[in-house]
Structure 1
Amino acid sequence: MVFTALLIAFPLGWTLYLSLTDSSGSVRSDSEFIGLQNYGEVLTDFDRFWPAVGRTVYFTGGALAFEMALGMAIALLLWRPFRGEKWVRVAILLPLVATPVAVGMMWSLILDPNIGFANQALSWFGIPAQPWLAGQDTALTTLMFVDIWQWTPMVVLILLAGLTSLSDEPDEAARVDGASAWQRFWYVTFPLVMPVFITAILLRGIDALKTFDILYATKGKGGGSFHEVETLNVYAYGLSFDYNDYGMSSAVLIIFFMMIVGCIWLLTARKKRSNR
């Protein structure tokens, strides 16, 4: 526990210290203590910081909503035994095998506006070609779809474990009382699995907030020419490694860290109420 605490405390403390200085060029170069000046500049940056916050919220919220809905639906389908269920479960988990960078490169080829299979498939139905990742208005939504494709199996795995642990007696009692399939799910199954559902939201939500690999692998520096997929992670990375402005990037990371802690606190409080 002491080792883990130090492992977390030292990088966090160092980042906090850098955020209060004008460190740039190199973290070993001389820097001056400037207090909260970096935070003031970040919070008043309406050109890059706040749009990045909006993209982060949009990407995380959209991906999480679809992943939870699809994950619950697929978990319910896999809940009861059926022929070939082992092969189906293996197939569903395949997207988790590949690394995010490899997934990003694969989908870049599939969604290429000129040679990609996606636009070729659309042409079979008379649908015009779409810009997908190349479009300023479509890139972030497209990458949200890629994230949903890769990480929905993780949600399925968590929810399926929760469903499998439930007793059959409440569902059978509701069935005897004449409840429909939807009523049994909404009033019996879902409340019982709610603690696991919130745990899945917590784990997947934190992971989605930190998404960087797919965004950077597909769009590169700055999240694209028009910063169309620049989330807070990509923005902080650019400040650190493109502009070597470590003080400013550390301030962004500390603000982002506080946002994540706030989300964890809200979800944990909601989980405690569900357990009661």
Structure 2
Amino acid sequence: MVSAWMDRNLKWVFTLPAVLFILLMVAFPIGYTVRISLYEWSMSAATPPKWVGLDNYIHLLNDPRFWGSVGRTFYHTSVSIVLETVLGVLIAVLISRKFAGQKLIKTFLMLPMVATPVSIGLVWLLIYEPSIGLANQLLKLAGFKPLAWLGSVDLVMPSLILLDVWEWTPMIVLIVVAGLMTLPSDPYESASVDGATSFQKFIHITLPMLMPTILTAVILRLIDLLKTFDTIYATTQGGPNYASETLNLMIFTEAFHYFKFGSASALLMLFFILIMIVICAFIALRKRLGGMH
């Protein structure tokens, strides 16, 4: 009887350990974070956690600093993802054609992704340095005045976006190049017979067939972009005057600078909900487009 039951439920028997492990690794941290978010706690042995209910959430939802960090998070994410996707697709189409040095260029494209985010942040901190940084030296050569890239409230977010685009556009390129290699040649041959130009082939054949691949790349990059921390902390630490403080940096500051672990946990849960909404929307869009093809 045991052997017969095993045969009937073999797929569940083999997958159950992995499912339980994942549930334990995901459900426990989320449950513990929810619990801590309902307390006021400084992680001090002298001051035990104090039950405050939903006060942490109410305080955050009425805090302009919280909404400012939400706005900066989505501004950084949305502008970066648009630029990286557009540039990534264009570069992928260009380097997918046969030419001398193609493999060398693909290798160089991977270099920004190989380095650690903190080291990249420190390198760009030197590039943006006001007096001797490469960015201002190039501006001087072009006849422009030097800029306070990371010291200006107006320029700090565009500067961080430029850093992110430089670092992660190659990821989009590699995914899209892989997608281009799987496209069938028949539609292109038919379009050539009909006299279609290269631009028309790109708009009417390549993009529609490549859209599920592009959306997959966008979803993967979006998940990572929303939780960007390393490069921002290494370059600005949220300054000047909170002008580059995203949700991740606010959570870090609340927890490890102010020791407000209840408030930081509430922030984490609100951030988690926002991420789930955005990701689910993109996954639904990808499924819809996939069904159309």
- Pick aligned residue for 2:254 from 227, 239, 244: 239
Alignment length (residue pairs): 273
Structure index of larger Rg: 2
Corresponding residue for residue 210 of structure 2: 193
1:13-162 equivalent positions in 2, closer than 5 A = 13-26=31-44, 30-46=48-64, 48-162=65-179
Contact 1:27–1:246 (CA under 8 A) maintained in structure 2:
no
Contact 1:26–1:244 (CA under 8 A) maintained in structure 2:
no
Asked if residue 266 in structure 1 is aligned to residue 281 in structure 2, the reply is yes
- Pick aligned residue for 1:4 from 14, 22, 25: 22
How far did residue 29 of structure 1 move? Answer: 5.2
How far did residue 34 of structure 1 move? Answer: 2.1
Distance 1:91 1:28 in 2: 54
Report the TM-score when normalising by structure 1. 0.96
Q: Which runs of 5+ in 1 are unaligned?
A: none
Greater Cα shift, 36-45 or 176-185: 176-185
- Pick aligned residue for 1:215 from 232, 247, 250: 232
How far did residue 32 of structure 1 move? Answer: 2.8
Contact 2:152–2:240 (CA under 8 A) maintained in structure 1:
no
Root-mean-square deviation (CA, aligned residues, Å) is 1.3
Report the TM-score when normalising by structure 2. 0.90
Distance 1:27 1:88 in 2: 56
Structure 1 ranges of 4+ moved more than 3 A: 25-29
Greater Cα shift, 77-86 or 37-46: 77-86
Q: Which runs of 5+ in 2 are unaligned?
A: 1-17
- Percent identity, aligned pairs only, is 43
How far did residue 186 of structure 1 move? Answer: 1.4
Distance 1:50 1:160 in 2: 38
Contact 2:39–2:51 (CA under 8 A) maintained in structure 1:
yes
Letter in structure 2 aligned against 1:136: V
Asked if residue 163 in structure 1 is aligned to residue 205 in structure 2, the reply is no
Letter in structure 2 aligned against 1:230: E
